[in-house]
Amino acid sequence: MSRPVFVRSLSKKETRALDRLLRGDTPARVLRRAQMVHLSSQGFKCGQIAEMLSVSGPTVTQAIHRFNAEGLDGLADRPRPGRPPRARDRYIRLLKDVVQTSPRELGYPFTCWSLARLREHLLRKTGVLLSPPYLSRLMKKHGIVYRRPRHVMAHLRDPADYDEKKALLEFLKNAPPAQNPDSICCFSTSVRFTSTRH
């Protein structure tokens, strides 16, 4: 039967640092490891700690072994394997330059950047295509702001009709209020129908 694993004796400095981690604004995974070490130092076995914190026994054992070997540094997250970030420094620099440049200066027929247009331009320049949500988060993280295009439909309205309605509205706004119901102004439109029968 294997001997139970416990945390080694803590120095005063480690005890104070551990207490700060337990009471401070500590990232969740680091806090959980600090709790494991603290409970182990109180005499709880790995199985008991695992049950209290709703984790597996090997997770607790690993955290205690790491602390025993590395001290407080063993509580921190290790670098995770996986693909390195695609948006490197060069991409960020180019992105910052692009949003400060008019698309017309770069040969585009439009005058404002949109997220989709930025993605396409940066794909051409870097060969990297980021998803819209990731690019949006990246811009927010680095304080990069672009002006969204304004979509207006003024070109679709009839200018004469618009001016007439605007003048009527101004007239109604400036007209004195009616004194009695008989003086209320009414607008009527007469419609004449013609028959197609003979």
Residue 149 has pLDDT above 60, yes or no: no
At position 28, the amino acid (one-letter code) is A
- Domain match, 62 and 37 both: yes
pLDDT of res. 110: 87
Q: Please indicate, yes or no, if residue 59 is contained in any of the structural domains.
A: yes
Q: Please indicate, yes or no, if residue 64 is contained in any of the structural domains.
A: yes
Domain of 132, in residue numbers: 89-141
pLDDT of res. 64: 94
| Of the residues 75, 98, 120, the one at which a domain ends | 75
CA–CA dist 18, 72 (Å, integer): 8
**Contact criterion met (CB below 8 Å) for 111 and 102:** yes
- Identify the three-state secondary structure at position 95: helix
pTM over 0.75: no
Q: Please indicate, yes or no, if residue 152 is contained in any of the structural domains.
A: no
CATH number for position 21: 1.10.10
Burial environment of residue 83 by CB neighbours within 10 A (0 to 12, 13 to 18, 19 or more): exposed
Q: How far is CA 165 from each of CA 26, 36, 46, 162, rounded to the nearest angstrom? A: 62, 74, 80, 5
pLDDT in tens, 61-96: 999 999 999 998 889 887 766 655 566 788 888 999
At position 15, the amino acid (one-letter code) is T
What is the chain's alpha carbon radius of gyration, rounded to the nearest angstrom? Answer: 35
Give me the mean pLDDT over the 100-108 stretch: 89
- Domain match, 68 and 40 both: yes
pLDDT band at 191 (very low <50, low <70, confident <90, very high): very low
Number of domains forming the structure of the chain: 2
CA–CA dist 98, 113 (Å, integer): 9
Give me the mean pLDDT over the 34-60 stretch: 92
- Domain match, 30 and 70 both: yes
